[in-house]
Each structure stands twice: as structure tokens, then as C-alpha cells.
Amino acid sequence: MIQTELKYDYCLVKITEKQANLENAEEFKLLMNEVIADGNKLIVLDLAEVVYVDSTFLSAMIAVLKMTMSHGGDLAVWNLNDDIANLFSLIRLDRAIKVYKELPTKFAGITVN
């Protein structure tokens, strides 16, 4: 469900599911917990393959944001399709989780700059 790759000063985590929803949200949280426990504090989620994110998965993403913040880190997202980018803006999630249009060479999030 995820593939990780160390890039610059952050960990790039690709979500390999088309539907990010109730059925995989819990597994996503557990896997991300391991990624953070491995010492990755700055994380960028790559949503290139994701078509739809439901509210349960959005909650899981906020739970992951909180996990990174409790370790002095931060979470950002990249490669959102138009619908998901619009949703992030509509419900102001982009004020809590940085949305990248292009991958940065140095992590710049909202709480960690």
C-alpha cells in the first residue's frame, strides 16, 4: 500500500492505492507509524495513483500529521489530482498540510520551514 524512498532531507511515501478509503486507512496509519518510528520526521506523501480520498482516510492523514509533529517533524502532499486538490482547498486541509505542485529539494512544510 505504500512505497518509501529517501529523497533530499525528507522521506517520499507513495500511496499505491487508487481508492484511499475506510478499508485501507487503518493499515496506512500503522505503516506510517513504522516509517516515523524508523526516524523519518519530514514526510511527503505522493498521491499520484490515488483517485479518491474518503473522509476516513483524510482523518488518517491528519493522524499521521500529528504523529510527525509530535516528533518535531511535518507532513506534506504531492501529485494530487484536480478533485483531491480542490477538496484540500475546500475544507482548508491545505492550511494544515502543505500541498506541493513540484517536489522541493528541501522540505518546506507549514509547521517546519
Cell of 83: 478533485
Interface with other proteins, residue 71, by CB under 8 A = no
Q: Which stretch binds other proteins (CB under 8 A): 7-15, 31-39, 49-57, 98-106?
A: 49-57
Q: Which stretch binds other proteins (CB under 8 A): 6-14, 17-25, 38-46, 71-79?
A: 17-25
List the one residue from 3, 5, 9, 18 that touches other proteins (CB under 8 A).
18
DSSP 32: H
Q: Which residue has the cell 499521521?
A: 64
Rg of the Cα atoms in the chain:
13
